[in-house]
Amino acid sequence: MLTQNRIFDTIVDTRNMFVSMNTTIVKRDYINAKGESLLYLFVTKHGKRERIPLDIYVPTELWIKKGQRLNPINQHCRDLNLILDNIDSKVTSIHTLFRLSNKQLSLEKFCEEFRNAIPRLDFLAFIDYQIKEEKNILKKGTLRRHHAVLEKLRRFRKEIFFTELDEPLLIKIRSYFKGLGNSSVTIESNMASIKKFVGAAEKKGIRMLIKSSDIKVGSTAGNRTDLSSDEIKRIFDLFKSDFINPRYKLAAGYFLFSCFTGLRISDVQALSREQVNKNNFTFITEKTTKLQYITVSNKLREILQEDKRLFVKRISNEEINRCLKIVATLCGIKKNISFHVARHSFATNFLRMGGDVQTLQSLLGHSKINETMIYVHIVNAEACEKMKLLDNMF
């Protein structure tokens, strides 16, 4: 119990003696209309005192001051005593973890740790905590990626303790992701998320067997698969046919919209029917937060008129990508298709048809021209390859 709770921390006074911190649960004098009083955790050190309200109300007449518990005469009192036992454990855990981490535990730091309840044992619980902490500053796409990584890790193991987080375990995690059928780009992106959270744990003084700098992350740029104008036409013809499954039709419609605009899936998902039902529209891109201007071409208008569910009925990114793989198969396209292929297809076909790189940079919303130049290199390489056509001259 907390009555004699004098757990030593790592601050040493001038006599080289460990300085103790006292914690006590006390009952407030004020009694409400139900005859209950609020409990506080009193924390004292160096003559300084902090009072933390516990949001627990107890029947005044059943409170035992010396034992800091309730008289267990009924189930409700016994349940409250269990909650107080958990508070005991929480206090002990904070002291122990700081002591083992060789970190100084001040009165202010203890109160911060107690109020915030930072998970310091289970890495997965810590990731969940950190995501909630950052949800208001992270972009939606980043949040979705972090949540997806957390769910994969939970399927891998229900708990991953910081004390077992080492290089061999990370190798097993990589292997597990690969077994799920994830591409190398997805795996590296997932490992980048894990590295981020390991780094966040380091900053909070959590001891691990590995450092964030030890986690090597490969390229997350991905390949530049694109569709030719003929392949896009095959998808367009299937989209307009009468025999396509409505689910595949909707996914194909969103994909084709991106093939003619170059928009990322995050921006497509954020648009409304009212926005796109105009001759042109503007929006703020999710990834770069830039203002982007889109002119609704005749082909876009045809796509929108073909399926009135577009930008009204929403389906998840994962569902769209699943459907697109089936659509590609139905169209006889053997390339590995995902929604981002539409953006690459827009860029390469724009250049193939005579568009200039500066305009493409603006349309794609790239900050730097070298991002756009990748597509120029692809088209130039295709042109060089076509020089072999002269081999058939005679």
Task: Assign residue 146 the CATH number of its domain.
Answer: 1.10.150.130
pLDDT over 50 at 16, yes or no: no
234 and 376 housed in the same domain:
yes
Specify the range with the lowest mean pLDDT, choosing from 107-121, 193-207, 288-302, 348-362: 107-121
Task: Return d(Cα 68, Cα 41) in angstroms, integer.
Answer: 11
HSE of 62, CA atoms in CB hemisphere, 13 A: 17
Residue-wise DSSP of 129-189: HHHHHHTTTS-HHHHHHHHHHHHHHHHH-S--BGGG-SHHHHHHHHHHHHHTT--HHHHHH
Q: Could you give phi then psi for residue 272, rounded to 5 degrees?
A: -110, 160
Helix, strand or coil, per DSSP, at residue 274: helix
* Residue 222 placed within a domain: no
As given in the structure block, the two tokens for residue 17 are: 């003696």
Return the percent helix, strand and coil in the chain, to nearest 5.
55, 15, 30
Q: What pLDDT does residue 282 have?
A: 87
* Residue 102 placed within a domain: yes
* Residue 179 placed within a domain: yes
Instruction: Find the angle CA(142)-CA(147)-CA(153) to the nearest 5 degrees.
Output: 125
298 and 199 housed in the same domain:
no
* Residue 329 placed within a domain: yes
**pTM higher than 0.85 for the full model?**
no
Task: Return d(Cα 105, Cα 117) in angstroms, integer.
Answer: 15
Which residues sit opposite 58 in a β-bridge?
37
As given in the structure block, the two tokens for residue 66 are: 């010396």
36: left (phi over 0), alpha (psi -120 to 50) or beta: beta
* Residue 57 placed within a domain: yes
Residue 210 is part of which domain span? Answer: 123-214
Residue-wise DSSP of 360-381: HHHHHT-SSHHHHHHHHHHHHH
How many domains does the chain divide into? 3
pLDDT level of residue 308 (50, 70, 90 thresholds): very high
pLDDT over 70 at 17, yes or no: no
* Residue 394 placed within a domain: no
Which residue, 91, 116, 141, sits at the end of a domain? 116
256 and 177 housed in the same domain:
no
Q: What pLDDT does residue 375 have?
A: 78
Task: Return d(Cα 199, Cα 159) in angstroms, integer.
Answer: 19
Contact assessment for residue 324 and residue 338, using Cβ atoms and an 8 Å cutoff:
yes
* Residue 221 placed within a domain: no
162 and 240 housed in the same domain:
no
pLDDT level of residue 382 (50, 70, 90 thresholds): low
200 and 237 housed in the same domain:
no
241 and 344 housed in the same domain:
yes
Q: DSSP assignment, residue 164?
A: G
pLDDT in tens, 208-234: 888 999 999 887 665 678 899 999 999
Task: Return d(Cα 130, Cα 125) in angstroms, integer.
Answer: 9
Task: Return d(Cα 123, Cα 141) in angstroms, integer.
Answer: 22
Amino acid at position 152, single letter: K
pLDDT level of residue 20 (50, 70, 90 thresholds): confident
176 and 305 housed in the same domain:
no
Task: Return d(Cα 265, Cα 259) in angstroms, integer.
Answer: 11
Q: What pLDDT does residue 103 have?
A: 73
* Residue 300 placed within a domain: yes
Which residues sit opposite 44 in a β-bridge?
22, 49
149 and 55 housed in the same domain:
no
245 and 279 housed in the same domain:
yes
233 and 195 housed in the same domain:
no
pLDDT over 80 at 43, yes or no: yes
Q: What is the percentage of the chain residues whose pLDDT exceeds 90?
A: 37
Which residue, 69, 85, 116, sits at the end of a domain? 116
184 and 265 housed in the same domain:
no
384 and 235 housed in the same domain:
yes
pLDDT in tens, 155-172: 999 889 888 899 999 999
Helix, strand or coil, per DSSP, at residue 285: coil
Task: Return d(Cα 250, Cα 232) in angstroms, integer.
Answer: 15
Which residue, 75, 98, 116, sits at the end of a domain? 116
